[in-house]
């Protein structure tokens, strides 16, 4: 047998080169995702013998998109990064996908990060009769480790260890506790489910085909503060998912806590020489290209029974740069006229800008809802394209 070249070389990738490009090129004829639209035989031929320093290859990047042909109505991304360098080594494929997914974002564009919550205007007065809850989430990747599709058990455990050290050193409003998935008691599990905090082993084939569920539940866990308003998921789809949330419409407070908490966590990681993956072109580097930039989804659960059945609902959302989801999150349906409304953009605008869009847009939609309740028209309120 061969002695493995440590750190691992990707012997199988070289073995595949015995087959011609046409023989290895995936059949994407029935596929509808960004990767399938962007990948050509030329690009495949150019990139297939490349790998990142950790051994991630083009076939790894695209596997989830090959395995999941997509949906005629929903355009999924169809590819993932295995490490920070994926975005550089495979840029010939990923740049067009990023451009397509992020509204024409060019390979020369610069992304702005702004986590100064004071820069947000208003946002503390969304009507709680309509806005039931507010939430802001993002993801962070820790420099020096590979990403969930590719990382080893040892890396994942190191990330968990670092994350727990950082989080347990937080105090004041951020004082909290970590619950590793694999040693959770039944009582703890019940409580986390009731609080809607618990995340499950991924069942979505989009995630499982990318290898993100390997070794589950090893080194996965949930941390939250005692007030249950600040929550961190460790080693789910990204190294860290950071969530700030509370009942009612005070998005300003949610965003403040979000920014303050994130910055505290980042400081602690930096002290250990593990900053977050970030660059001035792509902003925060995350597993899925759809989450690049801010990785931020700021949203509310809001009652819009009348507006949601209005003929112009979709158009209004598009103009406000917002998207709707059901109250179970992505790919769920709304229940009782309550929608999850959040920013559609991630890359090319800052955190403050994106949350501002949510705050202003939701305020407007609630006013429209009130008008429709009274049987009045909303035509004069239709916004211009933001």
Q: Of 86-94, 238-246, 256-264, 375-383, which part binds other proteins (CB under 8 A)?
A: 86-94
The nearer residue to other proteins, 16 or 310, going by C-beta atoms, is: 16
DSSP assigned state of 329: B
Of 167, 279, 9, the C-alpha closest to 159 is 167
Q: Residues 93, 284: contact at Cβ < 8 Å?
A: no
274 is in an annotated binding site: no
Q: Residues 291, 346: contact at Cβ < 8 Å?
A: yes
Of 317, 296, 308, 333, the C-alpha closest to 383 is 317
Residue 295, burial from CB neighbour count under 10 angstroms (0-12, 13-18, 19+): buried
Distance CA 339, CA 328 (A): 10
Residue 259 token pair: 């920014």
Which listed residue (75, 85, 264, 370) binds other proteins by CB under 8 A? Answer: 85
146 is in an annotated binding site: no
Site for other proteins in 162-191 (CB under 8 A): 182
The nearer residue to other proteins, 178 or 313, going by C-beta atoms, is: 178
In the block, residue with structure tokens 């480790």: 145
Of 208, 203, 257, 250, the C-alpha closest to 229 is 257
135 is in an annotated binding site: yes
108 binds other proteins (CB under 8 A): no
Q: Of 113-121, 152-160, 239-247, 259-267, which part binds other proteins (CB under 8 A)?
A: 152-160
172 is in an annotated binding site: no
Per-residue x/- marks for other proteins, 273-302, CB under 8 A? Answer: ------------------------------
Output b/e per residue, 32-55; b: 16+ Cβ within 10 A. Answer: bbbbbbbbeeeebeebbeebbebb
- List alpha helices for 243-283, DSSP H: 251-271
Site for other proteins in 202-241 (CB under 8 A): 208-209, 213-216, 218
327 is in an annotated binding site: yes
Residues 6 or more apart whose CB falls under 8 angstroms from that of 191 comprise none
Kindly state the smallest distance separating residue 109's Cβ from other proteins, in Å. Answer: 17
The nearer residue to other proteins, 54 or 138, going by C-beta atoms, is: 54
Which listed residue (36, 89, 234, 285) binds other proteins by CB under 8 A? Answer: 89
The nearer residue to other proteins, 18 or 385, going by C-beta atoms, is: 18
Which listed residue (37, 112, 157, 386) binds other proteins by CB under 8 A? Answer: 157
Backbone angles phi, psi at 338, to 5 degrees: -95, 125
| Strands, sheet with 176-180, edge to edge from the N-terminal-most edge strand | 176-180, 221-225, 230-234, 240-247, 131-140, 297-303, 338-343, 322-325
5 binds other proteins (CB under 8 A): yes
Which listed residue (99, 152, 168, 246) binds other proteins by CB under 8 A? Answer: 152
249 is in an annotated binding site: no
Site for other proteins in 46-65 (CB under 8 A): 49-55, 59, 63
Residue 119 token pair: 């820069």
| Number of residues this chain uses to bind other proteins (CB under 8 A) | 54
Residue 375, burial from CB neighbour count under 10 angstroms (0-12, 13-18, 19+): exposed
The nearer residue to other proteins, 22 or 379, going by C-beta atoms, is: 22
194 is in an annotated binding site: no
88 binds other proteins (CB under 8 A): yes
Q: What is the 3-state secondary structure (H, E, C) of 280-305?
A: CCCEECCCCHHHCECCCEEEEEEECC
In the block, residue with structure tokens 């920014």: 259
Q: Of 1-9, 107-115, 221-229, 237-245, which part binds other proteins (CB under 8 A)?
A: 1-9
203 is in an annotated binding site: no
153 is in an annotated binding site: no
Binding site for other proteins (CB under 8 A): 1-16, 18-20, 23-27, 49-55, 59, 63, 66-67, 85, 88-89, 91, 146, 152-155, 157-158, 182, 208-209, 213-216, 218
Bind-site residues for ATP: 133-137, 196, 241, 297-301, 325-330
């Amino acid at each position: 047998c061969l002695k493995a070249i440590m750190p691992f070389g990707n012997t199988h990738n070289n073995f595949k080169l015995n087959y011609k490009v046409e023989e290895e090129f995936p059949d994407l004829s029935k596929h509808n995702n960004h990767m399938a639209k962007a990948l050509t035989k030329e690009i495949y031929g150019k990139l297939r013998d490349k790998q990142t320093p950790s051994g991630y290859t083009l076939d790894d990047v695209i596997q989830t998109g090959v395995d999941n042909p997509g949906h005629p109505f929903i355009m999924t991304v169809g590819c993932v990064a295995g490490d920070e360098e994926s975005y550089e080594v495979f840029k010939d494929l990923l740049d067009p996908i990023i451009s397509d997914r992020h509204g024409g974002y060019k390979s020369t564009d610069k992304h702005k990060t702004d986590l100064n919550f004071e820069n947000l205007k208003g946002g503390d007065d969304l009507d709680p009769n309509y806005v039931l809850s507010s939430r802001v989430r993002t993801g962070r990747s820790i420099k020096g480790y590979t990403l969930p599709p590719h990382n080893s058990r040892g890396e994942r455990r190191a990330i968990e260890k670092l994350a727990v050290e950082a989080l347990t050193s937080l105090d004041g409003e951020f004082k909290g506790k970590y619950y590793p998935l694999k040693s959770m008691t039944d009582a703890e599990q019940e409580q986390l489910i009731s609080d809607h905090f618990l995340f499950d082993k991924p069942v979505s084939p989009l995630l499982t085909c990318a290898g993100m569920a390997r070794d589950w539940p090893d080194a996965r866990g949930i941390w939250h503060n005692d007030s249950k308003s600040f929550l961190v998921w460790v080693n789910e789809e990204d190294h860290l998912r950071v969530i700030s949330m509370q009942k009612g419409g005070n998005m300003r407070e949610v965003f403040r806590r979000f920014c303050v908490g994130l910055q505290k966590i980042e400081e602690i990681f930096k002290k250990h020489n593990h900053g977050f993956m970030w660059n001035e072109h792509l902003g925060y580097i995350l597993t899925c290209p759809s989450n690049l930039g801010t990785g931020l989804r700021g949203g509310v659960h809001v009652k819009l029974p009348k507006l949601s059945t209005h003929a112009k609902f979709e158009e209004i959302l598009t103009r406000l740069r917002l998207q709707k989801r059901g109250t179970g999150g992505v790919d769920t349906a709304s229940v009782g006229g309550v929608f999850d409304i959040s920013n559609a953009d991630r890359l090319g605008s800052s955190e403050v800008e994106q949350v501002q869009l949510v705050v202003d847009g939701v305020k407007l939609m609630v006013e429209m809802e009130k008008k429709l309740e009274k049987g009045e028209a909303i035509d004069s309120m239709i916004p211009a394209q933001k």
